[in-house]
Amino acid sequence: MEGDARSFRIGPCVGRGGFGEVYRAWMTTAGGLQTEVALKILRPDPLRRADASARFRDEGRMLSRLQHPAVVRAFDWADLGDGHMALVTEFVDGADLHACAAIGIGERPLLEVIGAVASALHAAYHGADPDGRPLEVIHRDIKPTNLRIGRHGQVRLLDFGIARFGSDERESRTESDLVVGSVPYMAPERFSERVSSPAADVYGLGCCLYEGLVGTAFHRETRLRDLSAMALNASASAEHLASRLEQLPATVHPETRALLERCLAHDPARRPTADEVARICEGLAGEVRGPTLRRWCADVAFPEDASFAATWTGRRVTEGEDAGEQDEADRGRPKVVHQAGATVDPDLLDAGPPPALSTTPLEVAALPLAPRPARGGRGARWAVGALGAMGCALVVLSVAGALGTLMIAVVGSGW
């Protein structure tokens, strides 16, 4: 046996979300076995620490019960010392759908990706825990950056940090007047009725399918006030959908187009179920010309992850040791200081500065919908403030319009 505790060699940060950061890392078990993993570490935030910690623990419990090949696997919790906990999951070497859409992913491999995630969503909602209780998991943040494609053709649905599930063990509770999600991928009813349902996840899948086919987002260049207006106006929503469908490549299979139109329907009742999406994609993948997902992954030059040095980059952590002991163990090793005072190991750094947080869609951490005012719909009034903390931008927007006042906390998107 090599030792009596696990250790982690933490590499670059590969994702930054509303409440945490995800690092590529290498775990060495007590028996000496080494595994590449992803470490999701909760970022300290005294303003939202209790809520974020509860969601973090919920995510770990949820992932441990979701046994599906297209759901990222959770291995365990890790104690990094000084009260810092990390969720240890598998690391999928590859790229997300947002990056793959930018370089061009064919219709057939795209259908395989969407079908696999749809199957995972069906299993997440209709599956049961070890005691036979229904899971009833609703992801609530389906978007291309949360759909991971591995270099060998594997597909994983990531980031269940704001998911809702039916278990009584859930610690976090979303307040009745709050909506959580990523605005460009949220279903209309999420704005207008403040409800989450499996149909809302299917709408997000439709947005992912559209972006994969066209290469740009379904709601690109659409202002927040226009999105909120369409949430209340089915005709305007239908017109927007029709204009976007006109931009589909002529080579898109008619049944793929029909599926896309159903997934993006304004009325949740008109959308297919996740299981139906999975079955349709499976059938279409056999009819559409082009390479399979596995072949496409083998042939394509995968885009590199936007990784950068952050707080934990370069650290070697052994469970059971406090921060002082960690520092003592690292003495004598070459180090550099890289932004925000983080001490890092040079061989774990990627060249170049950290990418801008705005390179991926923004994630809305909380979107309270106040009662509609008597005189709504008179445009938008924006009050914008920015706060830099731990390398993360926080923008607060106040919008007065048809839905009333939307208070939005926007943070950088991540894994």
For residues 186 and 43, is the Cβ–Cβ distance under 8 A? no
Does an H or E element contain 327, and which?
helix 323-330
Alpha-carbon distance 279 to 26, whole Å? 37
d(CA 55, CA 60) in angstroms, rounded, equals 9
Of 105, 166, 95, the C-alpha closest to 135 is 166
With beta carbons less than 8 A apart as the criterion, state whether 5 and 318 touch. yes
Q: Measured over all CA atoms, what is the biggest interatomic distance in the chain, rounded to whole angstroms?
A: 71
CA distance 144 to 148: 8
Our answer to whether residue 141 is catalytic in this structure is yes
Nearest 5°: phi and psi at 294?
-65, -40
Asked if 276 contacts 206 with a C-beta cutoff of 8 angstroms, the reply is: no
- Name the catalytic one among 51, 141, 305, 345: 141
Q: Which of 113, 199, 97, 117 is nearest to 160 (CA)?
A: 117
Instruction: Centre a 10 Å sphere on the Cβ of residue 19 and count the other Cβ atoms it contains.
Output: 24
Amino acid at 409: A
Cross-sheet strand order for the sheet of 155-157: 94-96, 147-150, 155-157
Quickly tell me which residue has 């199957």 as its tokens: 119
Q: Which residues are tagged catalytic? A: 141
